Amino acid sequence: MSFAAHITIASFLAAAHDVMLEWLKRAHEQAGFDKDGLRAWWHGIMEQKSGRESRRQFFSEVLNKANTVSHRLLMFQSSHCC
């Protein structure tokens, strides 16, 4: 697998983790969910048909963040390459 592919995958995973934490913290602060409440809320977004729009918004945020980071890393790598 190419270096660029590794950067892209790592950027996506890091962005997904970061955005997920932002969403969970916001839900905890706004709704006061405990861990079971957060788990049920997250499951509703990610697994249920009713969470489709929230899921789309989540992945849109993840992709925007991952693309920004990945692009910067790729630009950095190409500017320091042979």
Domain coordinates in residue numbering, the chain? 34-76
Q: What is the pLDDT of residue 73?
A: 57
Q: What is the pLDDT of residue 43?
A: 95
pTM of the model: 0.78
Written as one string, the DSSP assignment of the chain is --HHHHHHHHHHHHHHHHHHHHHHHHHHHHH---HHHHHHHHHHHHHSGGGHHHHHHHHHHHHHHHHHHHHHHHHHHHHT--
- Each residue's pLDDT, cut to its tens digit, for the chain (82 residues) gives 888 788 888 889 999 999 999 999 999 999 999 999 999 999 999 999 998 999 999 999 999 998 887 666 555 444 444 4
